[in-house]
Amino acid sequence: MLSYIHKKNRKYGAIPGSLIHLGRQKTDKIKFSKIIYDEEHFDRDFPLSIENCFPPSEKPSNTWINIDGLHEIKVIDYIGNKLKIHPLLMEDILNTTHRPKWEEYADYIFIVLKLVEFKSELNEVRTDQVSIILGERMVFTFQEMERNTFEPIILRLQNSVGRIRKMGADYLVYSLMDLIIDSYFNTLEKIAEKIESLEEEIMSRPKEQTLKKIHKLKREMIYLRKSIWPVREIISKFQRSDSKLIKPATLVFSGDLYDHIIQIIETLDIFRDLLIGMHDTYLSTNSNRLNEIMKILTIISTIFIPLTFIVGVYGMNFHYMPELGWHYGYFITWGIMLILFIMMFLFFKRKKWW
Amino acid sequence: MLSYIHKKNRKYGAIPGSLIHLGRQKTDKIKFSKIIYDEEHFDRDFPLSIENCFPPSEKPSNTWINIDGLHEIKVIDYIGNKLKIHPLLMEDILNTTHRPKWEEYADYIFIVLKLVEFKSELNEVRTDQVSIILGERMVFTFQEMERNTFEPIILRLQNSVGRIRKMGADYLVYSLMDLIIDSYFNTLEKIAEKIESLEEEIMSRPKEQTLKKIHKLKREMIYLRKSIWPVREIISKFQRSDSKLIKPATLVFSGDLYDHIIQIIETLDIFRDLLIGMHDTYLSTNSNRLNEIMKILTIISTIFIPLTFIVGVYGMNFHYMPELGWHYGYFITWGIMLILFIMMFLFFKRKKWW
Amino acid sequence: MLSYIHKKNRKYGAIPGSLIHLGRQKTDKIKFSKIIYDEEHFDRDFPLSIENCFPPSEKPSNTWINIDGLHEIKVIDYIGNKLKIHPLLMEDILNTTHRPKWEEYADYIFIVLKLVEFKSELNEVRTDQVSIILGERMVFTFQEMERNTFEPIILRLQNSVGRIRKMGADYLVYSLMDLIIDSYFNTLEKIAEKIESLEEEIMSRPKEQTLKKIHKLKREMIYLRKSIWPVREIISKFQRSDSKLIKPATLVFSGDLYDHIIQIIETLDIFRDLLIGMHDTYLSTNSNRLNEIMKILTIISTIFIPLTFIVGVYGMNFHYMPELGWHYGYFITWGIMLILFIMMFLFFKRKKWW
Amino acid sequence: MLSYIHKKNRKYGAIPGSLIHLGRQKTDKIKFSKIIYDEEHFDRDFPLSIENCFPPSEKPSNTWINIDGLHEIKVIDYIGNKLKIHPLLMEDILNTTHRPKWEEYADYIFIVLKLVEFKSELNEVRTDQVSIILGERMVFTFQEMERNTFEPIILRLQNSVGRIRKMGADYLVYSLMDLIIDSYFNTLEKIAEKIESLEEEIMSRPKEQTLKKIHKLKREMIYLRKSIWPVREIISKFQRSDSKLIKPATLVFSGDLYDHIIQIIETLDIFRDLLIGMHDTYLSTNSNRLNEIMKILTIISTIFIPLTFIVGVYGMNFHYMPELGWHYGYFITWGIMLILFIMMFLFFKRKKWW
Amino acid sequence: MLSYIHKKNRKYGAIPGSLIHLGRQKTDKIKFSKIIYDEEHFDRDFPLSIENCFPPSEKPSNTWINIDGLHEIKVIDYIGNKLKIHPLLMEDILNTTHRPKWEEYADYIFIVLKLVEFKSELNEVRTDQVSIILGERMVFTFQEMERNTFEPIILRLQNSVGRIRKMGADYLVYSLMDLIIDSYFNTLEKIAEKIESLEEEIMSRPKEQTLKKIHKLKREMIYLRKSIWPVREIISKFQRSDSKLIKPATLVFSGDLYDHIIQIIETLDIFRDLLIGMHDTYLSTNSNRLNEIMKILTIISTIFIPLTFIVGVYGMNFHYMPELGWHYGYFITWGIMLILFIMMFLFFKRKKWW
């Protein structure tokens, strides 16, 4: 959980804008890949050294440089200097606990998003930060570790599927954002399956384990919300953007992203309501069961405690107890106990306890 | 439940705007019907092939083409191309988990709405998506399967009831929306009946089944809200629309729709409050009952356990127990027990336990 | 409860603007009364036939026509035609489940309000719809049934009390609204009395009945809110009205109405909080009581079960049980039991159970 | 509680603006006091008759007239006429259940505020209404009964402490408002003490009484909120006032009032949260205790009930029971019971029940 | 807790703007330190007397005067007079319960912030107020007691690390605010650790102590929120400031502060949700345990109470009880009891109680 807090204290009193990597080292070595493409060409360099990334590309092609791994500060620093990006932004890239954001500057747009993944077996949400810098005919993406997240887009670029090669770097950024938001749907679907299985569990035979799983999931949903909620604002900024880097042809697509993110947030809300509902169901089922248990105890006790008292009476050893000498005393006692038993039975019957 | 999540993962990494039908195949074959009408004429073609639908109609009549079934992608694609509609919108028509929306373009207005139905016996809400495209003198409606939902409007068109034939395609769209919102009232009424019957059940003799039904209904209400809430915004966009496709004469009627949708949403809120209230009633009734049960157990135990102890004492076999030899020992013991019994009785009386 | 839902399904597929009376027939026959007044004259016709109501009056007097009963559709239709009122509005008058509203048109203002009444003995809120149409020197009021609600205003008109005869039709409408809002205070006061009596009940000796009454009242409050909340918006529209039908001299008074409605809504909120608080009190009192009950049971059981075990031991019939032969065995056993009893007593004393 | 509702029904159907005193008669006779002051002079007349109050003062001094008691309607009516104040405002002064408000008119500003007091021993909040009318060089204050609330300000006027004599009537009004808001801090502090003592009570040994006190206090907080919340809006109107009656030199001070009222409202919110928290603590402590109680009962029962069964077996009187004749039968039985006892003990030990 | 309320009553009726120190005396003697710096020079005087602080510095250097301790009113008064600061602001500096604020005046900006610290072992949040006055080339900071909070900034100034010496007094204020907000991260991290340890405790074996700790922490969070929430507004005012005292070069950095404070507030919200969740977990775990306890009690009672009744029957001393004479009576009884036992066992098995 601690990872949700920006560990600023590792640099308490440090100069704002100084680069410190805040996050686990998720990859061994920073890896670079460079894709240069335009309507006619596609070229991919991988792996390559940092020096080969600059200058990004000769005009008029588009260049996409992807950086996997954030732990080598001097490498990140080098990129920041090359791109003339404000140190505070480079700090944000390194701080992997940063909240999603969209910031427009004169020469570039800076975007932070979260990839989310639901580990169904661990009942846990994992997030990876993706930072995107969109410049003139140029896209930089920063990931915490090497993943093949962007493979579908690389393939579309390579095979020139759809309009991706025909459009500019802004459309590439849109495609990346669309892909990330698509990953939210995957996550939601896995969570939905988990919720369904928990719901079944709680309806058939709830155990303490079930409850703990629900609580765990509720907690994970709190974290997930934090990663996804700000994306709505981001898409909204995208839609209203008047940066020259975003062309009108790309703006059209942002409405679609907005519809998706609204649907995701609504689904998150539904999930929360469902989890609250399940907790309530659990509690009321439990309360029901307690009543059932107590009914059994009460019925048994109420019937047999008085009877036990009666047989106790005739187990006393007083020298003079006239009933003991009666010939049918024993049978009369049985008769009385039977009548008592029937009365108790009718009492509980009338109370509709069974 | 999974159906509430846009199954984007079936096309994770696919090109935005590529047509994929997301939803169950609810009808066997796509069916087309075409109605051409103006103040003097009414003409209905049904069934007809897709090619006969285009061109929609010669001026100055209005054309309404209804398409039942969405699973033949190439048919939908054909229509999209003919109408020159943006692929992203055609994708929305096919994605039957889309949230309701109203979007205005230069040449057409695109509307997504949900028909809802409450299956009382299953305690379940079902939704069907209806997409409407309003163009110049032209309306397209897309439904998931063949239903006679629009029959009342077809009849009004045929018999020229009211002003429907005198007014344009926009009034037809208004009439369709009015019909769909009317269907919400039907649904609410059925739910109200369900709530009333559950309320009676909970007041007379609540069972665990009742609770489960309440939880089920609460969950269905969550889904229903999701389908109906966005409609308010849609009507509000309708009211403020400055599209040339919506004539002032039709705008007047949108206020009525708005009143209705507000009333529906308020009723949904009331239902939610009622269901929460019922859950509370159930819990407190249960807690009450537990108290009642425990009182009985406690009264019985408190009275008979001490008495059983006393008779136990005189059941001991010590050789020297002076009381045993007393002539009235037995009766004195009964006396003492009677006094104890009365004291206990008075104790519970004073505690007002009965 | 069903009455809270606009029963649109009775006309599913009907033409919008077609007149159907939605509500119970609360009066036998529609009754008309006409009052014509100005600063010098006052004239009241009652009962009179519908034809005599038109034309409303010769200038420059004010005319107030009150209609009791809404079930004769053709009568309402006749009035609508005479006044040239949009059929959708006439539909609203007939639909007695309509939410309160204020709508301004070029020639008239249309107002829907609810009279509310709390039946203390039934623990139930009843509402009656009052529709008001304010035209030039002309007021129409529609009520569901004959009631003497407006009697105080008729008396003030007749006796020329205050400024009512000196001012125009708009002031009459203000007076009617003031009267209706006054009736809310009455209702609140009755509910307050009910709440107080329930509070006393819950503090002294809560029963399951009390809880049910609280739940009923909570539910009634939900309905009441629905009738009263929109009135705030209505008054607010009144205050900001720039219709030529509302003169500045009358506008001054609207501020007073606004203060009142705010106070009513605040009181409703307080009532809801009080009812929630009472429910909590009930639950925690119940939980307290359960603890008390269980303490008694536990004390009795914990003291006597071990003692009963001891006496049981010496009730065994083994041939060789040395203690049985001891001369003081019996008394030693009593001693041991006494010590045990005292220990238990001290144990519970230390736990502060009494 | 009923006093929180504007008892409009005592005048249902009355003319708006007719003067009726709504509140208890808190003082015997209306008392008047008049203070005339400017930078050099200070003059106090007390008591004096109503006629001597008018005309308030010759220019250019400031006049402050304080009226204690509101029950003599004709006196209030006389003042209203003299000051030419709208009857609706005079009605507001008399209605002591009015919510706080600030209203600006051409010639005067009308302010309603509540003095609040917390009676610690009664656990009750009491409110008194103070109405202030600020005119040109003239202040009128109306209180429900004679109190020395304003003494500190009279003393500052008399002794010319601070800038109060140098500044105008508006500064006097500011000083009065500051004093009233100061009284809220006093009230909050007393409530804080109460909350602290209740918190201690609930932590050490909660009783049903404690719970009732918490509920009472929660209810009082609901009322208190109603009296204090609207003051924020009042101060905010004060700050933004462009009335000629409020001079810029006085406006500077309003920011300070705003800070104070925000702090008071935040503290009210904290108190509410604390009280809710205490209720939760109580409930969970109770649930804890129930578990403790049940554990004791279960341990005792589970250990001794089986043992009692065993000794019961050998208390049977069958003629042929071989164990009874065994020489060590009695001791073997004890051995078995001891083993059972130890097993039970270990069972509860493993369950960590002690 | 009382310290959260502005103890205005110590000066009820006092003149607004009169200086009274509201807070504990946290330091023995007021201490002054003066730092004069520009791009080339750095000079620190410490300790020094109050007279030496004025005039702050000769142009064009920046002066930072830090005052530790607020209890000597005449010293504070002297400073206020020297700086010509409005007495109401000086009052705010002395009132250490003031809420955070940012106020811009013609010649200076006045800022109140809270340093917060979480004492993990005491489970308590402590706050210290820091007031900052930013003038032309001049910064005053007021702290409640001597602390080395600002040491990192003094070091950066001394060693000219980063841009701090190159920029003006406004950047120094930004650095101070950044440092204070950094301290919030530290606090949150400590609280996160506490929450994690409590979460573990509650999952493994919850005790009443755990619950009390949770409630304590929840209460502390309420206070913490009050200190941190208003900071968002402060940073937002900073960002939108158009004071000539804040240069554009410094404004750039305010965005970073805003990101941080949003993250802190979101984390606070998450903590609250986690604590609520823990409380729920505790309650449902408890309810689970109660069920477990009751199951054991019920199983034992239900099995042995009827058996004890049977053995009681044959412990009766009736002269004529035929079964007693049967040779296998004893063994038959055992058989019957065994069968009963097995039936009970199967009953509980079917109910899945173990």
Higher pLDDT, E170 or B95: E170
Nearest by CB to residue B219, choosing from A163, A274, A317, is: A274
Q: Name D122's Cβ contacts closer than 8 Å, sequence gap at least 6.
A: none
Mutation to test the E interface, candidates A94, A304, A320, most E Cβ within 10 Å: A304
Question: Does E290 touch chain A if contact means CB atoms closer than 8 Å?
Answer: yes
Q: What is the pLDDT of residue A274?
A: 86
Closest CA to E97 of D189, C319, B18, A303: D189
Asked if residue E155 is part of any domain, the answer here is: yes
Q: What is the pLDDT of residue E176?
A: 93
- SS3 at position D200: helix
Q: How far apart are CA A133 and CA A141, in angstroms?
A: 6
Alpha helices, H only, E314-328: 322-325
Closest CA to E46 of E37, E63, E65, E33: E33
Average pLDDT over all residues of chain A: 84
Residues of A in contact with E256 (CB under 8 A): 16, 88
Percent helix, strand, coil in chain A (nearest 5)?
55, 15, 30
Residues of C in contact with B259 (CB under 8 A): 92, 98-99, 101
pLDDT band at D329, cuts 50/70/90? confident
pLDDT band at A177, cuts 50/70/90? very high
Q: Return the structure tokens found at A267.
A: 């689904």
Q: How far apart are CA B229 and CA B223, in angstroms?
A: 10
Q: Do C270 and D226 touch (CB under 8 A)?
A: yes
Average pLDDT over residues C158-165: 85
| Closest-CA residue of chain A to B97 | A263
Provide the terminal-to-terminal Cα distance of chain A, rounded to the nearest Å.
Answer: 49
Last residue of a domain, one of E262, E284, E306: E284
Q: How far apart are CA C77 and CA C131, in angstroms?
A: 15
Is the domain of C345 the same as that of C278?
no
Is the domain of A325 the same as that of A185?
no
Asked if residue E108 is part of any domain, the answer here is: yes
Q: What is the pLDDT of residue B7?
A: 46
**Chain E window 136-155: which residues touch A at a Cβ cutoff of 8 Å?**
151-153, 155
Q: How distant is the Cα of C302 from the closest Cα of chain D, in angstroms?
A: 6
Q: How far apart are CA C144 and CA C25, in angstroms?
A: 8
Domain of residue B206: give its range.
2-284
Q: Do B99 and A155 touch (CB under 8 A)?
A: no
- SS3 at position C23: coil
Q: Do the Cβ atoms of D280 and E279 come closer than 8 Å?
A: yes
**Chain A window 182-201: which residues touch B at a Cβ cutoff of 8 Å?**
182-183, 185-186, 188-189, 192-193, 195-196
- pLDDT tens digits, one per residue of C250-279: 888 888 899 889 889 988 888 888 888 888
Three-state helix/strand/coil letters over chain B: CHHHCCCHHHHCCCCCCCCCCECCCCCCCCEEEEEEECCCCEEEEEEECHHHHCCCCCCCCEEEEEEECCCCHHHHHHHHHHHCCCHHHHHHHHECCCCCEEEECCCCEEEEEEEEEEECCCCEEEEEEEEEEEECCEEEEEECCCCCCCHHHHHHHHHCCCCCCCCCHHHHHHHHHHHHHHHHHHHHHHHHHHHHHHHHHHHHCCCHHHHHHHHHHHHHHHHHHHHHHHHHHHHHHHHCCCCCCCCHHHHHHHHHHHHHHHHHHHHHHHHHHHHHHHHHHHHHHHHHHHHHHHHHHHHHHHHHHHHHHHHHHCCCCCCCCHHHHCCCHHHHHHHHHHHHHHHHHHHHHHCCCC
Residue B56 scores a pLDDT above 90: no
Nearest by CB to residue E329, choosing from D188, D193, D318, is: D318
pLDDT band at A203, cuts 50/70/90? confident
Q: How far apart are CA E349 and CA E33, in angstroms?
A: 79
Task: Report long-range pairs for A192-201 (Cβ below 8 Å, ≥24 apart).
Answer: A192/A267, A192/A271, A192/B1, A192/B2, A192/B4, A192/B5, A193/A120, A193/B2, A194/A118, A194/A120, A194/A123, A195/A271, A195/A274, A195/A275, A195/A278, A195/B1, A196/B1, A196/B2, A198/A278, A199/A274, A199/A278
Domains in chain E: how many in total? 2
Is the domain of C86 the same as that of C195?
yes
Phi first, then psi, for residue D297 (nearest 5°) are -60, -45
DSSP state of E145: S
Q: How far apart are CA E170 and CA E245, in angstroms?
A: 7
Q: Do the Cβ atoms of C65 and C141 come closer than 8 Å?
A: yes
Is the domain of E335 the same as that of E188?
no
- pLDDT tens digits, one per residue of D290-305: 888 888 888 888 888 9
Average pLDDT over residues B141-169: 86
Average pLDDT over all residues of chain D: 84
Other C-beta atoms within 10 Å of A55: how many? 8
Amino acid at E183: S
Q: Do the Cβ atoms of E47 and E33 come closer than 8 Å?
A: yes
For chain D, give the percent of residues with pLDDT over 70. Answer: 90
Residues of C in contact with B254 (CB under 8 A): none
Q: Do the Cβ atoms of E105 and E170 come closer than 8 Å?
A: no
Question: Does E232 touch chain D if contact means CB atoms closer than 8 Å?
Answer: no
pLDDT band at D55, cuts 50/70/90? low
Q: How far apart are CA A22 and CA A8, in angstroms?
A: 8
| Closest-CA residue of chain D to E205 | D352
Q: Return the structure tokens found at B275.
A: 């269901």
Average pLDDT over all residues of chain B: 84
CB half-sphere exposure, A101, CA atoms < 13 A: 18
Question: Does E163 touch chain D if contact means CB atoms closer than 8 Å?
Answer: no
| Closest-CA residue of chain E to D352 | E205
Q: For A16-30, A284-298, D187-201, E316-330, which range has the lowest pLDDT when averaged over its residues?
A: A16-30
Q: Do A222 and E270 touch (CB under 8 A)?
A: yes
Is the domain of C39 the same as that of C83?
yes
Average pLDDT over residues A238-248: 90
Nearest by CB to residue D301, choosing from E226, E301, E314, is: E301
Closest CA to A337 of D283, E309, C300, C321: E309
Q: Do C286 and B285 touch (CB under 8 A)?
A: no
Q: Do A15 and E260 touch (CB under 8 A)?
A: no
Other C-beta atoms within 10 Å of D29: how many? 11
- pLDDT tens digits, one per residue of B183-198: 898 899 899 889 988 8
Q: Do B283 and A284 touch (CB under 8 A)?
A: yes
Question: Does D280 touch chain E if contact means CB atoms closer than 8 Å?
Answer: yes
Phi first, then psi, for residue D96 (nearest 5°) are -75, 5
Entry field: residues in chain B: 354
Q: What is the pLDDT of residue E56?
A: 60
Entry field: residues in chain D: 354
Q: Return the structure tokens found at B111.
A: 């509307």
Question: Does A321 touch chain B if contact means CB atoms closer than 8 Å?
Answer: yes
Q: What is the pLDDT of residue D57?
A: 58
Closest CA to D26 of D141, D119, D128, D151: D128
DSSP state of C351: T
Q: Return the structure tokens found at B202.
A: 């909970």
Question: Does E222 touch chain D if contact means CB atoms closer than 8 Å?
Answer: yes
Q: How many cross-chain Cβ pairs, C to D, lie less than 8 Å apart?
A: 170
Closest CA to A72 of A23, A140, A136, A2: A23
pLDDT band at D4, cuts 50/70/90? low
- Per DSSP, what are the bridge partners of residue A138? A63, A135
pLDDT band at D105, cuts 50/70/90? confident
Phi first, then psi, for residue E256 (nearest 5°) are -65, -45
List the subunits that have 3+ CB pairs under 8 angstroms with D.
C, E
Which secondary-structure segment (H or E) carries E171? helix E169-204
- SS3 at position E109: strand
Mutation to test the A interface, candidates E189, E204, E238, E259, most A Cβ within 10 Å: E259
Q: What is the pLDDT of residue D21?
A: 67
Closest CA to E305 of E275, E340, E263, E272: E340
Is the domain of B205 the same as that of B341?
no
Q: What is the pLDDT of residue A5?
A: 53
- pLDDT tens digits, one per residue of C58-109: 667 889 999 888 877 888 888 888 888 888 888 888 887 788 999 888 888 9
Q: How far apart are CA C13 and CA B56, in angstroms?
A: 26
Q: How far apart are CA E262 and CA E272, in angstroms?
A: 15
Closest CA to D309 of C303, E346, C308, C304: C308
| Closest-CA residue of chain E to A295 | E298
Entry field: residues in chain C: 354
pLDDT band at A316, cuts 50/70/90? confident
Average pLDDT over residues B311-340: 86
List the subunits that have 3+ CB pairs under 8 angstroms with C.
B, D
Is the domain of C218 the same as that of C264?
yes
Residue E174 scores a pLDDT above 90: yes
Strand duo A31-37 + A62-68: pairing: antiparallel
Q: What is the pLDDT of residue E269?
A: 87
Q: What is the pLDDT of residue E14?
A: 63
- pLDDT tens digits, one per residue of D313-322: 888 888 888 8
Mutation to test the C interface, candidates B313, B337, B349, B350, most C Cβ within 10 Å: B313
Nearest by CB to residue C288, choosing from D2, D286, D311, is: D286
Residue A26 scores a pLDDT above 70: no
Higher pLDDT, A134 or E85: A134
Is the domain of B72 the same as that of B180?
yes
Q: What is the pLDDT of residue C226?
A: 85
Is the domain of E19 the same as that of E102?
yes
Average pLDDT over residues E262-287: 86
Q: How far apart are CA B200 and CA E300, in angstroms?
A: 38
Is the domain of A153 the same as that of A248?
yes
Q: For A238-242, B27-31, E62-66, which range has the lowest pLDDT when averaged over its residues?
A: B27-31
Q: What is the pLDDT of residue C31?
A: 85
Higher pLDDT, E314 or B207: E314
Asked if residue A128 is part of any domain, the answer here is: yes
Asked if residue E289 is part of any domain, the answer here is: no
Average pLDDT over all residues of chain C: 84
DSSP C254-274: HHHHHHHHHHHHHHHHHHHHH
Q: Do C8 and B308 touch (CB under 8 A)?
A: no
Asked if residue E214 is part of any domain, the answer here is: yes
- pLDDT tens digits, one per residue of B16-51: 767 666 666 666 678 888 899 988 888 888 777 777
Residue E13 scores a pLDDT above 90: no
Question: Does B350 touch chain C if contact means CB atoms closer than 8 Å?
Answer: no
Handedness of CA D233, D239, D240, D244 (dihedral sign): positive
Question: Does A106 touch chain E if contact means CB atoms closer than 8 Å?
Answer: no
Is the domain of C194 the same as that of C334?
no
Q: Name B217's Cβ contacts closer than 8 Å, sequence gap at least 6.
A: B123, B191, B194, B195, B198, B275
Q: Do A161 and B15 touch (CB under 8 A)?
A: yes
Q: What is the pLDDT of residue E113?
A: 93
Residues of C in contact with D268 (CB under 8 A): none
Q: How far apart are CA A90 and CA B330, in angstroms?
A: 96
Last residue of a domain, one of C284, C302, C328: C284
Q: Do C291 and D293 touch (CB under 8 A)?
A: yes
Nearest by CB to residue E281, choosing from A215, A286, A315, is: A215
Last residue of a domain, one of B267, B284, B301: B284
Q: Do the Cβ atoms of C158 and C42 come closer than 8 Å?
A: yes
b/e map A89-126, b = 16+ CB within 10 Å: bbbbbbbbbbbbbbbbeebbbbbbbbbbbbeeeebebe
DSSP state of C165: T
pLDDT band at C9, cuts 50/70/90? very low
Handedness of CA C305, C307, C310, C314 (dihedral sign): negative
- pLDDT tens digits, one per residue of A279-296: 888 888 888 888 888 888
Q: Return the structure tokens found at B293.
A: 């049960």
Q: What is the pLDDT of residue A7?
A: 45
Other C-beta atoms within 10 Å of E106: how many? 7
pLDDT band at A162, cuts 50/70/90? confident
Residue C8 scores a pLDDT above 60: no
Is the domain of B131 the same as that of B155?
yes
| Most confidently modeled range among A176-185, D50-59, E202-211 | A176-185
**CATH number, domain with residue E301:** 1.20.58.340
Average pLDDT over residues D163-179: 90
Nearest by CB to residue C314, choosing from B277, B288, B316, is: B316
Average pLDDT over residues D325-333: 86
Q: Do B162 and C15 touch (CB under 8 A)?
A: yes
Asked if residue A289 is part of any domain, the answer here is: no
Mutation to test the A interface, candidates E181, E257, E275, E288, most A Cβ within 10 Å: E288
Nearest by CB to residue C15, choosing from B156, B290, B306, is: B156
Q: What is the pLDDT of residue C27?
A: 60
Question: Does C280 touch chain B if contact means CB atoms closer than 8 Å?
Answer: no
Residue C235 scores a pLDDT above 80: yes
Other C-beta atoms within 10 Å of C98: how many? 20
Q: What is the pLDDT of residue A234?
A: 92
Question: Does A20 touch chain E if contact means CB atoms closer than 8 Å?
Answer: no
Asked if residue C21 is part of any domain, the answer here is: yes
Q: What is the pTM of this model?
A: 0.79
DSSP state of C22: B
Nearest by CB to residue B256, choosing from C88, C215, C304, is: C88
**CATH number, domain with residue B110:** 3.30.460.20
Q: Do A327 and E320 touch (CB under 8 A)?
A: yes
Q: Do D318 and E300 touch (CB under 8 A)?
A: no
Q: What is the pLDDT of residue D7?
A: 45
Q: How distant is the Cα of A256 from the closest Cα of chain E, in angstroms?
A: 27
Q: What is the pLDDT of residue C331?
A: 87
Average pLDDT over residues A332-340: 90
Which secondary-structure segment (H or E) carries A120? none
Residues of B in contact with C7 (CB under 8 A): 185, 189
